């Protein structure tokens, strides 16, 4: 990855809807060169997905929660089962298998606390392999997104 690829990725992380023409203005390449590079970055999997970030309050899901989940057993089958359940749960925005005090960290959206209580009943309380979970309610979304620094190969 060279400086141009890194600059293209930085621009697309801020606005994935930018056209090759707009990107070319930011990175100093022709629109055709940007179009080819953008297609290569997408095809190679460096760009995994292009998503829309929604305002949770405007779609009636204003309660965001960060949940630490610990399992009784961490056998591969148990982990795979939990991961599959979290992938299918529409309330789970993000799920990370982590080291430390918990096995998983989840970002969950809910309409209200009763909605979250129903989620916990279905996915945690009724699951015999869930040892415990700890929830923190988000008071303010200070920063959201998936953008990360991109450096050109040296």
pLDDT tens for residues 57-95?
A: 999 999 999 999 999 999 999 999 999 999 999 999 999
Report CA dihedral (11, 96, 65, 140) to the nearest 10 degrees. Answer: -30
Q: Which residues contact 47 (CB under 8 A, 6 or more apart)?
A: 9, 12, 41
Residue 154 has pLDDT above 80, yes or no: no
- Tokens 């009636």 label which residue? 60
Query: What whole-number distance in Å separates Cα of residue 34 and Cα of residue 32?
Result: 5
* Residue pLDDT, tens place only, 21-69: 999 999 999 999 999 999 999 999 999 999 988 999 999 999 999 999 9
Q: What is the pLDDT of residue 150?
A: 93
Consecutive H or E run containing 4: helix 3-14
Query: What whole-number distance in Å separates Cα of residue 29 and Cα of residue 36?
Result: 11
State the DSSP code for 56.
G
Q: What is the pLDDT of residue 32?
A: 97
Query: What whole-number distance in Å separates Cα of residue 93 and Cα of residue 108?
Result: 6
Q: What is the pLDDT of residue 153?
A: 83
Beta strands in the chain (DSSP E): 63-71, 92-97, 104-110, 130-137
Residue 15 has pLDDT above 80, yes or no: yes
Q: What is the pLDDT of residue 127?
A: 94
* Residue pLDDT, tens place only, 100-153: 999 999 999 999 999 999 999 999 999 999 999 999 999 999 999 899 999 988
């Amino acid at each position: 990855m060279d400086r141009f690829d890194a600059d293209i990725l930085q621009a697309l992380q801020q606005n994935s809807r930018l056209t090759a023409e707009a990107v070319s203005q930011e990175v100093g390449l022709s629109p055709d060169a940007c179009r080819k590079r953008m297609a290569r970055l997408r095809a190679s999997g460096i760009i995994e997905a292009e998503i829309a970030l929604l305002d949770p309050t405007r779609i009636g899901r204003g309660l965001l929660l960060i949940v630490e989940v610990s399992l009784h057993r961490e056998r591969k089958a148990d982990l795979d089962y939990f991961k599959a359940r979290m992938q299918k749960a529409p309330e789970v925005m993000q799920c990370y298998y982590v080291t430390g005090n918990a096995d998983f960290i989840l970002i969950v959206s809910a309409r209200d606390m009763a909605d979250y209580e129903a989620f916990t009943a279905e996915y945690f309380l009724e699951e015999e392999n869930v040892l415990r979970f700890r929830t923190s309610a988000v008071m303010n979304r200070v920063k959201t997104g998936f953008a990360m620094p991109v450096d050109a190969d040296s």
